[in-house]
Structure 1
Amino acid sequence: MCIILVVMMHSTLGVGEAMGGEGFMHHIVAFAKPFRIPDFFLLSGLFVGRVVDRDWRLFADRRIVHFAYFYLLWLVLQSAVKYGQITDGAGPGAFLAHLAHGLVEPYSTLWFIYLLAVFSVAVKLLRRVPGPLLLAGAALLQLAPIHTGSTLIDEFCVCFVYFVGGYLFADRIFALADAVRARIGLALLGLAAWAALEGALVFTPSGFPSHPTLASLPGVSLVLGAAGALAIVAAAALLTRAGGPVTAALRACGERSIVIYLAFFLPMAGLRTALVRSGVIEDVGVVSLLVTLVAVAVPLGIERLVRHTPARFLFRRPAALHLVGEERPRPAPGLASARPT
């Protein structure tokens, strides 16, 4: 669900800009804005506790080298696709300078993977700090009006609190998932109440230019981010209990979320350009939906095609680049086999 919401946002906003309008998908994107990124980081933080107290060699392999490999590989691949736009006729030197800049400033959609490694190191270094103090400090960073222009610094301040929350409250969050499955009626009522409040705050103007909606106000955005992340946990727990093809499809996306995240940009841009230029479909919402579906499905298809070929390095770190033995995937208690990274 998290990765689909991220792809939906990029697809819908891109289509809206290209077609000069908005459709029904824009309302879904707006509704999900307060929790779309927080839930991704909170879910990622759930699993850092598995290795945070291990030796630095294993920790680095699981939480630094892993993300660094995919970031650097796809930094080159994504940049190569946009070579002309990046260099603007300046040649290979400009391209190399762009790649060097990408080492210190996260590039494009890959910023999330970059931040996962940074957050993991930060939690490792700060793990001896009392939990309440660590959480309070992270919350203050989120509330502070920090706008440096650096994606690394600004997104760290905005998102670190959710990663810390997932790390500190992992056991309670898994317990929440168990409680939701045990009390379905109450869980559905709670989700309905959350959705109503979320919608009211998202679509109500605040009167402040810097924070156009009530949901974007300082403090409110922090609470809505945490509440939305927990709502995703509750919805996932209900889906795993219900089973069925929808759950199976979402589980497949979750197990390969990094595949989708790395490769969705190319089919998204390609189909968007083709549909907009053809003019066959004029409804912005329908085009946005089609682009979203293709942007999710095509990376999964590519991964399946290359899974047993030398090209599998695109989505699977080669054994030679592991500092320790490869980790065997394990289902997470309370969230079945959904693995956010």
Structure 2
Amino acid sequence: MASTIDRTRVDWVDGAKGIAILLVALAHAVQWTVLSGLAPELWNKINLVFIVFRMPLFFLASGLFAGSIIKRTWPALWRTRLSLLVWALLLWTVIRFAYFSLLPNPAGFDETNPIDLLLAPVRPSNGLWFLYALALFFVAAKLMLNRVDWRVQIGVAAVLSVLFFARADTGNIAWNGIGRYFVFFLLGCYLREWILAFVNRPSRFGALGLGLGFGAGFLVLAGVILTVDARVPFITGSLVLVSLAALGAGLLLARFLVGFRAFTWLTYVGRNTLPIYVVHVLFVSAITSLLLLARGQAWLDRLAPVLPLIVAGGAVAASLLFWRLVRDLPVLRYGFAVPTWFSGRPPVAAVKSRPAERMLPRSE
């Protein structure tokens, strides 16, 4: 049986993942509503501010339990981790292609190029790239295990992160993300015990200093983005340092929030990130299309300043509801659970759709 401390650790990690997935949903809601002319342009700049927090937090949380996973044999790694990531990426890329081929994208993004569909296994070009990057991170960490010193791994990944946060550009969202965020996955993987100790028993002065440092960096970054050319912050490596402070503050915030009964829903969201991640964009697009039918209505104009928040919240709730409705149905449940023929798991080991309820295990 897990100890109280272990359960607390799991809860705040789930809380951190919940914060991250909500920010991802908000980012997409901002893109759709602003490009559709429903929300003010200011939201695009707010979106840029959260680049230091959103995906770094997601990948750090993913790395926290990766240390034991990458020690497994290659077949075991495939069965328990990689197969779900690859299956979800391939399946939902096809579903998104079909969806946007039938229903126009109100934001103007084109996901109906058959060439992009064919190249998705090596060059994802949509919002599902996180699955691709996470799978590669597990493979890379496994390949380097006991071959490359972990400090060298983090050092090289940190240099790549600075370069990609600054000027480096591959022309592909997935490969740019890999360059930016691999360091955060490795930090979670190799500094797990230090991070757990820091968050579970935070020093008051350390937490205060971290909070003030993050707050100062965040305000400077926000000030530059909101008042100057939005590309200015991206010509320096300062975003990496701000991201590190943001991660510490975010983990402490998650630990603080999960201690309140009113935020139990945040832990639930964090435990069920996969259905939200793969489905929410479809609901964001659908909700935006419905709102466009009411363009010009006074009530919609009054909601414009907070519309991205409403759309994001509605999309997350709809995604979870859809998942709960189909997760035990024949065929449809494989939208969130990898088939045994694909994963190589023996049928006895497959337990309904539970492997897909979380991108990460509660403890491994």
TM-score norm. by structure 1 comes to: 0.84
User: Is the alpha carbon distance of 1:84 and 1:73 closer, same or farther for their aligned partners in structure 2, counting shifts above 3 Å?
Assistant: same
Corresponding residue for residue 177 of structure 1: 199
1:266 aligns with 2:288: no
Please give the per-residue CA displacement for 1:263-295, whole angstroms capped at 9, x wherever unaligned. Answer: 001111111121133034114222212101111
For residues 38-77 of structure 1, the aligned pairs below 5 Å read 38-77=56-95
Corresponding residue for residue 109 of structure 2: none
Task: Give the Cα–Cα distance (whole angstroms) in 1 for the partners of residues 199 and 361 of structure 2.
Answer: 12
Asked if the contact 2:83–2:338 (Cα under 8 Å) also holds between the matched residues in 1, the reply is no
TM superposition outliers: structure 1 runs of 4+ over 6 Å: none
Corresponding residue for residue 313 of structure 1: 334
Moved more, 274-283 or 27-36: 27-36
Pick aligned residue for 2:310 from 283, 286, 290: 290
Corresponding residue for residue 8 of structure 2: none
Letter in 2 for 1:319: T
1:167 aligns with 2:189: yes
Pick aligned residue for 1:132 from 137, 151, 173: 151
Letter in 1 for 2:316: V
Task: Give the Cα–Cα distance (whole angstroms) in 1 for the partners of residues 197 and 101 of structure 2.
Answer: 48
Asked if the contact 1:16–1:284 (Cα under 8 Å) also holds between the matched residues in 2, the reply is no
Letter in 2 for 1:321: F
Task: Give the Cα–Cα distance (whole angstroms) in 1 for the partners of residues 160 and 100 of structure 2.
Answer: 34
Letter in 2 for 1:297: A
Task: Give the Cα–Cα distance (whole angstroms) in 1 for the partners of residues 305 and 207 of structure 2.
Answer: 28
Cα deviation for residue 122 of structure 1 reads 0.6
Instruction: Give ranges in structure 1 of 5+ residues lacking alignment.
Output: 87-93
Asked if the contact 1:198–1:224 (Cα under 8 Å) also holds between the matched residues in 2, the reply is yes
User: Is the alpha carbon distance of 1:293 and 1:66 closer, same or farther for their aligned partners in structure 2, counting shifts above 3 Å?
Assistant: same
Corresponding residue for residue 157 of structure 1: 179
Pick aligned residue for 1:143 from 154, 157, 162: 162
Asked if the contact 1:187–1:234 (Cα under 8 Å) also holds between the matched residues in 2, the reply is no
**3-state SS of paired residue (1:316):** coil
Cα deviation for residue 59 of structure 1 reads 1.0
Cα deviation for residue 125 of structure 1 reads 0.6
1:4 aligns with 2:45: no
Please give the per-residue CA displacement for 1:112-158, whole angstroms capped at 9, x wherever unaligned. Answer: 11110011101111122111111111111112242121334322211
Task: Give the Cα–Cα distance (whole angstroms) in 2 for the partners of residues 316 and 35 of structure 1.
Answer: 28
Letter in 1 for 2:158: A
1:249 aligns with 2:270: no
Moved more, 257-266 or 312-321: 312-321
Please give the per-residue CA displacement for 1:75-95, whole angstroms capped at 9, x wherever unaligned. Answer: 110010122689xxxxxxx86
Asked if the contact 2:63–2:185 (Cα under 8 Å) also holds between the matched residues in 1, the reply is yes
Corresponding residue for residue 123 of structure 2: 105
Asked if the contact 2:130–2:174 (Cα under 8 Å) also holds between the matched residues in 1, the reply is no
Letter in 1 for 2:255: A
Asked if the contact 2:327–2:333 (Cα under 8 Å) also holds between the matched residues in 1, the reply is yes
RMSD: 2.9
1:18 aligns with 2:36: yes
**3-state SS of paired residue (2:76):** helix
Cα deviation for residue 99 of structure 1 reads 2.3
**3-state SS of paired residue (1:264):** helix
Moved more, 98-107 or 166-175: 98-107
**3-state SS of paired residue (1:103):** coil
Letter in 1 for 2:53: F
Asked if the contact 1:12–1:26 (Cα under 8 Å) also holds between the matched residues in 2, the reply is yes
For residues 191-270 of structure 1, the aligned pairs below 5 Å read 192-205=211-224, 211-213=231-233, 216-240=234-258, 242-246=259-263, 248-270=264-286
Task: Give the Cα–Cα distance (whole angstroms) in 2 for the partners of residues 21 and 299 of structure 1.
Answer: 22
User: Is the alpha carbon distance of 1:84 and 1:271 closer, same or farther for their aligned partners in structure 2, counting shifts above 3 Å?
Assistant: closer
Asked if the contact 2:150–2:190 (Cα under 8 Å) also holds between the matched residues in 1, the reply is yes
Cα deviation for residue 209 of structure 1 reads 5.8
**3-state SS of paired residue (1:203):** helix
